[in-house]
């Protein structure tokens, strides 16, 4: 694939929609069935497109953020691209602490006592962000915000607000 300049947010949205939006019948992580699906791995696997996503998300990082925390699995590639543009350290958050090695829920930058921005690729219900935020808060992280590439606008923003988390989407479906 050749290099291209993705300066305008509208251009980026159009490219992501063209490459990633599928139609059909899909079961989402939330258990809901959808007629539209975003194959996020199409932008996460393309280094040029992922870099443009990271640059777009960097404009959404709230002031005072100290660490970016990408959620397993899709948020991992996104957090690295974002960290490059935001100049902030990254952590990688598992869905559950691993039962071997360090036994940590989060690897990378230390989150204890720091303002942490959760990073996700696509949000539907906000369930994984809420679960991860609760676990990280229990471990001493300060979590009040999350960013995502695509908000499917199916209740995630409202559910996260009820958990004290403001969602900042790059794009809304």
Residue 97: predicted pLDDT = 84
Confidence of residue 8 (pLDDT cuts 50, 70, 90): low
CA 145/CA 165 separation, integer angstroms: 5
pLDDT digits (tens, 9 = 90+) for 83-98: 999 999 999 999 988 8
Alpha helix segments (H runs only) across 105-167: 127-138, 156-162
- 95 assigned binding-site residue: yes
- 127 assigned binding-site residue: yes
Put the strands of the sheet holding 67-71 in their side by side order: 106-108, 90-93, 67-71, 115-123, 142-151, 166-172
Residue 142: predicted pLDDT = 98
- 125 assigned binding-site residue: yes
Residue 87: predicted pLDDT = 97
User: In 3-state terms, what secondary structure has residue 108?
Assistant: strand
**What's the longest Cα–Cα distance across the chain?**
45
Residue 101: predicted pLDDT = 83
The hierarchical CATH code for the domain 57-172 is 3.40.50.2020
Give residue 32's region: left, alpha or beta (phi > 0; psi -120 to 50). Answer: beta
Domain ranges within the chain, ordered by starting residue: 57-172
- 46 assigned binding-site residue: no
- 115 assigned binding-site residue: no
Of 83-92, 101-110, 112-121, which range is least confident? Answer: 101-110
- 120 assigned binding-site residue: yes
pLDDT digits (tens, 9 = 90+) for 123-168: 999 999 999 999 999 999 999 999 999 999 999 999 999 999 999 9
User: In 3-state terms, what secondary structure has residue 61?
Assistant: coil
Percent residues over pLDDT 70 in the chain: 95
- 9 assigned binding-site residue: no
- 93 assigned binding-site residue: no
Supply 10's token pair.
């509208």
Full-prediction pTM beyond 0.75?
A: yes
Q: Could you give phi then psi for residue 113, rounded to 5 degrees?
A: 70, 10
Q: Do you find a cis peptide bond into 73, omega within 30 degrees of 0?
A: yes
- 94 assigned binding-site residue: yes
Q: Which whole number is the average pLDDT over 30-39?
A: 87
Supply 151's token pair.
């908000």
CA distances to 121, 122, 123 from 13, rounded to whole Å, are 14, 14, 16
């Amino acid at each position: 694939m050749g290099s291209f300049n993705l300066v305008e947010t509208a251009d980026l949205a159009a490219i992501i929609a063209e490459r990633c939006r599928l139609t059909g019948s899909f079961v989402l992580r939330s258990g809901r069935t959808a007629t539209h699906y975003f194959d996020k791995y199409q932008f996460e696997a393309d280094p040029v497109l992922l870099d443009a996503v990271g640059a777009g998300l960097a404009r959404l990082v709230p002031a005072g953020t100290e660490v970016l925390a990408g959620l397993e699995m899709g948020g991992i590639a996104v957090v690295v691209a974002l960290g490059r543009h935001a100049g902030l350290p990254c952590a990688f958050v598992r869905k559950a602490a691993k039962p071997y090695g360090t036994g940590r829920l989060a690897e990378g930058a230390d989150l204890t006592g720091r303002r942490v921005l959760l990073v996700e690729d696509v949000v539907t219900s906000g369930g994984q962000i809420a679960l991860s935020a609760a676990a990280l808060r229990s471990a001493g992280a300060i979590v009040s915000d999350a960013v995502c590439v695509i908000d499917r606008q199916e209740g995630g923003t409202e559910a996260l607000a009820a958990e004290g988390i403001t969602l900042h989407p790059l794009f809304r479906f």
